[in-house]
A and B are shown apart, each in its own frame.
Chain A
Amino acid sequence: MKVFIDPPNSMILFDLVERFGHEPLSSMALIQEKVDNIEVDMPPMNVTLDDVVKGLKYAGVEVPSGIRGRLAIWGPMIEAADAAIIIENPPFSFGCVGCDRSNELTKYRIKRRGIPALTVQYPTSEEEAKTMVGQIKDFLGGLGQ
């Protein structure tokens, strides 16, 4: 099954989803498409006109272009996903490489779609790590193939 991961470029989630036998939907594949085929230098920070139009489906016209650019990439992935795994409040999600408003809109879109979603926390101890991995393992095991 296709599983959307949030943060969409998370290595831990990508690896765990693949390890437990599902297909992770991450931003890297779509960024590769843009880098290889239309030679955009820094997606999602550089966007094409098509992206801006596509992003309007997920974020209003008054929303800053950075959010719309991100959602133009993440929105179609959420629509294609059969399930989602979200890591709450990653420390790097707010700042020069992150965007908290985009994260909020992403979570909102996942809830609106009504697909099975699991929310976990980044671990700070071995017990928390076991809880995180166990939750993900059980969630993905329950999805079927």
Chain B
Amino acid sequence: MLRYLAKRFLLILPTIFVPLIMVFLLLRLAPGDPAGMMLGDQATADQLAALRAELGLDQPLPVQFLLWLKGIFTLDLGNSIFFREPVMEVIPRYAGVTILLTLVALTLAIVIGVVMGVISALNRNNPVDRGVVTSAVLGISLPEFWFALLLIFLFSVTLRWFPVSGWTPPSAGLIAFGASIFLPALALGIRQSALMTRMMRSSMLDVMDEPYITTARAQGLPERKVIGSYAMRTASIPVLTVAGLAAGYMLGGAVAIEIVFALPGLGRMLVEAVARRDYPLVEGGVLTISLVLAVLNLVIDLLYAVLDPRIRYQ
């Protein structure tokens, strides 16, 4: 197990470095000028050149690359061009919001997906099943930002149950935090919950035909225990795989939701940083997302063994 872990940790390095190097090169090779974005549209050529020199952007690309590499290995990601603060201090402010949003959205997606999938499987081919499957197809098809605007219209503007937008941290109270994160998390999680519903339904239908389920029933175990302890546990493994992929999708894809709900998250920060050509901040953001994703995938792989004792890592 330890050997497996060490191997996986080693594999994380190229997983992180390849996208980082690509981002470094793409950012600098793409047109666009951080100095112009900083000084605005009325800056003169001299002023732009002076700022570029001040930011070190006038140095040859190989020199910039070596300095950047040195920074990575010494855990110094440099200063954000626009915030004028160390990237290592800016990123956590934004990453916390996105990680919390992803966790809540993932929890909602799993709960909705598993429950609806099981209900659908237990009511195979009857109207309940068809209703769930149709809803799942709709959920997969709806763009998240559109769903977000619908949620705002229904729950915020019409019913006035939740605020339209804004971020309240958990430190301000759990009720206020819950009110501010529920709609964004639901909007972010709904598509994944639809995927999980379909996956859970299909997986449950397969498992329910397995001999050990028949054996359990023949032994007189209550149906609730057969479903809960035997069928659901095995059927959840494919859902876990989807959950891992969903977490990655949510971490990187929360941008639209963060913009609609005005959440100060990593996705929105990255989009703004790319638009401003804030190179160090973009690189720091990509590093963070790559790292979280790699670790998350490892954790999910390890969880397989917890759910299915037949799985062993060597």
State whether these chains interact: no
* A contact set with B: CB distance below 8 Å: none
Identify the B interface with A (CB < 8 A). none
